């Protein structure tokens, strides 16, 4: 029976922590967006989840730093640990943007959700969640080839972001509502960007080559 190296065990534990972070931040984002369209204030709950993700990100960094200091990992393991530290930050941003979405209702007060009527905000939400899901799958599988499929969806989110921004700029609705939607589509665009960053980190860990898909 082959014994696992302490370094392998530590890397596996960090990966498990990243997967937990990903699921929590993804669910927090989905929850915040679902309630955004209902005009409901869920800031307290989403903030708690976001803070938890932030603490987990700090734990990932601490564990990875300790492994590097104690075990002097070879190139491949060192790349993985560096990638995991960066991915933890990107997952923390997932949680933070979820909190930002939920904070809109908390800060602005009640506002009436817009009718879609040419807007494609919900489509942007679906594409953004798809990017997030793909990035989380890449963390679990370390399948760097998924980066190209993720890139295609992320490009679609960019197009939807600019289209919705243009349509909202022409909207004659309640200014508070328009501001809420403008902020939200910006957060969605940033969420998708961080999905790309995660994919790039996985590709780097797996191949040793840096690739930018943005």
Which CATH number belongs to the domain containing residue 80 in this structure?
1.20.58.220
- Distance between CA 104 and CA 188 in Å, rounded? 14
What pLDDT shows up at residue 111?
77
Whether 33 maps to a domain, the answer reads yes
The tally of domains found in the chain comes to 1
pLDDT along the chain (214 residues), means of 10: 78 97 98 93 97 98 96 92 97 98 90 81 97 98 95 97 95 88 97 98 92 76
What pLDDT shows up at residue 109?
83
- The domain of 25 spans 6-207
What pLDDT shows up at residue 2?
54
What pLDDT shows up at residue 4?
72
- Distance between CA 141 and CA 115 in Å, rounded? 39
- Distance between CA 3 and CA 13 in Å, rounded? 16
What pLDDT shows up at residue 31?
98
Whether 214 maps to a domain, the answer reads no
Whether 142 maps to a domain, the answer reads yes
CB contact set of 170 (below 8 Å; sequence gap of 6+)? none
Whether 136 maps to a domain, the answer reads yes
Whether 45 maps to a domain, the answer reads yes
Whether 108 maps to a domain, the answer reads yes
| DSSP conformation class of 118 | T
Whether 213 maps to a domain, the answer reads no
Whether 1 maps to a domain, the answer reads no
């Amino acid at each position: 029976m082959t014994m696992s190296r302490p370094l392998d065990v530590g890397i596996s534990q960090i990966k498990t922590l990243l997967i937990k972070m990903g699921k929590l931040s993804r669910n927090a984002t989905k929850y915040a967006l679902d309630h955004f369209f209902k005009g409901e204030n869920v800031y307290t709950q989403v903030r708690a989840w976001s803070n938890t993700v932030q603490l987990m990100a700090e734990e990932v960094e601490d564990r990875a730093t300790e492994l590097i200091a104690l075990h002097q990992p070879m190139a491949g393991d060192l790349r993985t640990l560096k990638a995991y530290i960066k991915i933890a930050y990107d997952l923390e941003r997932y949680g933070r943007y979820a909190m930002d979405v939920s904070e809109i209702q908390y800060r602005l007060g009640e506002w009436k959700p817009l009718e879609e009527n040419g807007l494609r905000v919900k489509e942007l939400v679906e594409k953004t969640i798809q990017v997030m899901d793909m990035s989380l799958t890449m963390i679990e599988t370390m399948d760097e080839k998924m980066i190209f499929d993720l890139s295609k969806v992320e490009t679609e989110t960019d197009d939807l972001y600019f289209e919705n921004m243009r349509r909202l700029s022409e909207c004659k609705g309640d200014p508070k509502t328009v501001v809420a939607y403008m902020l939200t589509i910006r957060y969605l665009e940033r969420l998708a960007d961080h999905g790309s960053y995660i994919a790039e980190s996985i590709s780097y860990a797996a191949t040793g080559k840096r690739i930018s898909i943005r």
